[in-house]
Amino acid sequence: MVSDIEHRWYLAIDLGTGGTKVAVVDIAGRVLASAFRSVDTLRTPDGGATQDTDQWWTGLVGAVRETVAAAAVAAPCDGIGITGQWGSTIPVGADGGAVGACILWSDHRGGRWSRRITGGPLAVSGYGPAKVAQWLRLAGGAPNPNGADPTGHEQFLANDRPSVHRAAAALLEPVDFVGARLTGRIAATPASMVASWLTDNRPGAPVAYNSTLVRLAKRTAAKLPELLPTGSLLGPLTASVAADFAVTERLPAGTPVVCGVPDLHTAAMGAGAVADYAGHIAISTTAWVSAPVPFKKTDITHQMASVPGVGNGSYLIANNQEVGGAALRWLRDSVLTADDGFEGGYDALTAEAATAPAGSGGVLFCPWLAGERSPVSDEHLRASFLNISMSTTRAHLVRAVLEGVAYNVRWLLEATEHFAKRPLDGLRLLGGGATSDLWCQIHADVIGRPILRVVDPANVNVRGAAWFAAMHLGHLTLDDIVAAAPTARSFEPIPAHTAVHAQLYAEFVQMATSQRAMYKRLNGHRAD
């Protein structure tokens, strides 16, 4: 590490789906202080999912003030790193201010138009062969036929919210929106724009929007933000925003702000999983399985691709499951109440789950509360408890939720390793879900392999955002980051538990594949 390790520190901003986390992180990756502000999601019966950017910004300003004031740092901030959700869309005016709500990555109201864009007279998994061949050759991925991505979002705005679309000078991803508010510069990178599939992602390709891809996706070229290389310095923190933060001695105007990147990238960096095939599993609001790989490749059937990674010429496997830790939050907030005798938080939930046996007495939970994206793309899938009997207790149900998320992760892991053509190395578990010893052990038991919980798993993304900024400001190298990110604990699979889960997992996958027609009959009216 560099000699001034004890002095350098970074402000890290993680704009997650569930809320905004802000942290002061030193160059060694230690979180010196942090604050969180939750954010509300408005869901509508027609498949809409939106958030209020004013709530984002108010929460961000309050969290920055709280965090910087609480941190025991004397020197000014060395840089600001930004990460968070991706595949979402904010329409902004010329000043970078929002002119409409953020349309979330799970909003599929643009599906009717996306299917026309991606499909054709003959379509496989929603894609016309001639069209998808061009996307795959250049970008390595293609828009989602269900409309749950920026392509579908623009189509929805243009057709159903034309006044908002006309007012928008640019359509931004969340990390780029935050960057614009901090610096006044409206810009993006190939990493932040990856869910739009508008850049040529082949090795050595120029940093630019590809006119063929823009035309295929029917995107409005004039509403695309300026494109900068990933890791670029976006600009200095403006004086007006520094004044709003009100901690100008430690966070002054002029503090360098590095272009934001998706949480996929900062998770890999914060976990130290930056070597080829170093695997990580994230259990946050959503869930994913990823690893750096040395190739560009796409699996449309399983909604998986390798996308531009954290270094020049590198790639990261990108996929996503719509629900991870959000399943436990749903159970706590929407199912269990004080009337049931439950008044605790997540620790109380997992403590109760630990009293139930592995396999939850045969109860199976399918966590598709918001449909699914990978390893199958199906917005009609829904969650369910199966095999409940008179002997089923609340502890069985809570444990079944934990196990169901792990079954879903194993399903995705198997598809991911097939994509990589080899097992991933040293599976690291991170995210809020990884703070639970029980959930870590369940993942080891379900997957049947050791699981390595990273240090401070709930803060991996802010650590990664700080390190990403530090690396691109020239303060760190990737080798420094690997050396500074040890794992905290290994969870070994318990053979008896693994045997129990093997039968339940087989039924889980069978349920997902055999009942898709039923889910479409029940929920098909919602897609459009």
Residue 3 scores a pLDDT above 80: no
Looking at residue 343, what is its pLDDT? 63
Looking at residue 297, what is its pLDDT? 87
Looking at residue 313, what is its pLDDT? 72
Nearest Cα to Cα of residue 60 among 17, 19, 112? 19
Of 471 and 141, the structure prediction assigns the larger pLDDT to 471
pLDDT tens figures, 308-332? 888 667 899 999 998 999 999 999 9
**Distances, alpha carbon 27 to alpha carbons 179, 466, 496, in Å:** 21, 8, 43
CB count within 10 Å of CB 26 equals: 20
Averaged over 478-507, what is the pLDDT?
92
Looking at residue 6, what is its pLDDT? 58
**Distances, alpha carbon 342 to alpha carbons 18, 331, 339, 346, in Å:** 23, 11, 7, 11
Residue 432 scores a pLDDT above 50: yes
Q: Are 52 and 101 within 8 A, CB to CB?
A: yes
Q: Are 21 and 289 within 8 A, CB to CB?
A: no
Strand partners, 453: 429, 489
Residue 337 scores a pLDDT above 90: no
Query: What is the Cα–Cα distance from 20 to 13, expressed in whole angstroms?
Result: 7
Three-class secondary structure of residue 160 per DSSP: helix
Burial class from Cβ neighbours inside 10 Å (0-12, 13-18, 19+) for residue 212 reads middle
Q: Going by C-beta distance under 8 Å and a sequence separation of 6 or more, which residues neighbour residue 88? A: 102, 103, 104, 105, 150, 153, 173, 174
Quickly tell me which residue has 């998770």 as its tokens: 267
Q: What is the DSSP letter of 73?
A: -
CA 287, 289, 291, 296 torsion-angle sign? negative
CB count within 10 Å of CB 122 equals: 9
How would you label 470-496 residue by residue, b for 16+ Cβ within 10 Å and e otherwise? bbbbebbebebbeebbebeeebebeee
Alpha helices in 263-314 (DSSP H): 263-270
Quickly tell me which residue has 């914060």 as its tokens: 270
**Distances, alpha carbon 488 to alpha carbons 405, 434, 435, 455, in Å:** 22, 11, 11, 5
Q: Which of 113-127, 330-344, 357-371 has the lowest mean pLDDT?
A: 330-344
Q: Going by C-beta distance under 8 Å and a sequence separation of 6 or more, which residues neighbour residue 258? A: 79, 80, 81, 82, 231, 232, 233, 234, 468, 469, 472, 473
Please report which confidence band the pLDDT of residue 104 belongs to, taking 50, 70 and 90 as the band edges. very high
Structure tokens given for 318: 């990108």
CB count within 10 Å of CB 267 equals: 27
Q: Are 213 and 139 within 8 A, CB to CB?
A: yes
User: Please, how many CA atoms are within 13 Å of residue 189, restricted to the half-sphere of its CB?
Assistant: 27
Please report which confidence band the pLDDT of residue 527 belongs to, taking 50, 70 and 90 as the band edges. very low
Looking at residue 280, what is its pLDDT? 94
Query: What is the Cα–Cα distance from 41 to 18, expressed in whole angstroms?
Result: 8
Q: Which of 38-47, 133-142, 246-255 has the lowest mean pLDDT?
A: 133-142
**Which of left, alpha, beta for 184 (phi over 0: left; psi -120 to 50: alpha)?**
left
Please report which confidence band the pLDDT of residue 263 belongs to, taking 50, 70 and 90 as the band edges. very high
pLDDT tens figures, 451-482? 999 989 999 999 999 999 999 999 998 888 88
Averaged over 504-509, what is the pLDDT?
96
Looking at residue 9, what is its pLDDT? 96
Q: Are 386 and 425 within 8 A, CB to CB?
A: no
Structure tokens given for 410: 């194993």
Query: What is the Cα–Cα distance from 216 to 508, expressed in whole angstroms?
Result: 37
Nearest Cα to Cα of residue 282 among 314, 239, 241, 326? 326
Residue 302 scores a pLDDT above 70: yes
Q: What are phi and psi of 2, to 5 degrees?
A: -75, 160
pLDDT tens figures, 216-243? 999 999 999 999 999 999 999 999 999 9
Three-class secondary structure of residue 51 per DSSP: strand
User: What CATH number has the domain spanning 9-259?
Assistant: 3.30.420.40
Structure tokens given for 458: 């709930």
Same fold, 9-259 and 271-357+372-378+400-502: yes
Kind of pairing between the strands at 298-299 and 304-308: antiparallel
How would you label 357-372 residue by residue, b for 16+ Cβ within 10 Å and e otherwise? ebbbbbbbbbbbbbbb
Please report which confidence band the pLDDT of residue 2 belongs to, taking 50, 70 and 90 as the band edges. very low
Kind of pairing between the strands at 298-299 and 487-491: unpaired
Residue 1 scores a pLDDT above 70: no
> What Rg, from alpha-carbon coordinates, does the chain have?
22
Euclidean distance between the first and the last CA atom of the chain, given in angstroms as a whole number: 53
Residue 389 scores a pLDDT above 90: yes
Please report which confidence band the pLDDT of residue 528 belongs to, taking 50, 70 and 90 as the band edges. very low
Nearest Cα to Cα of residue 318 among 268, 271, 378? 268
Three-class secondary structure of residue 222 per DSSP: helix
Structure tokens given for 503: 């039968």
pTM for the structure as a whole: 0.87
pLDDT tens figures, 177-222? 999 999 999 999 999 999 999 999 888 889 999 999 999 999 999 9
Is 271-357+372-378+400-502 assigned to CATH 3.30.420.40? yes
Three-class secondary structure of residue 440 per DSSP: helix
Q: Are 182 and 99 within 8 A, CB to CB?
A: no
Q: What ranges make up the beta strands (E) of 124-214?
A: 170-172, 187-188
pLDDT tens figures, 64-101? 999 999 998 889 999 999 999 999 999 999 999 999 99
The mean predicted confidence, pLDDT, of the chain is 92
Of 118 and 122, the structure prediction assigns the larger pLDDT to 118
Domain boundaries, the chain: 9-259, 271-357+372-378+400-502
Averaged over 236-259, what is the pLDDT?
95
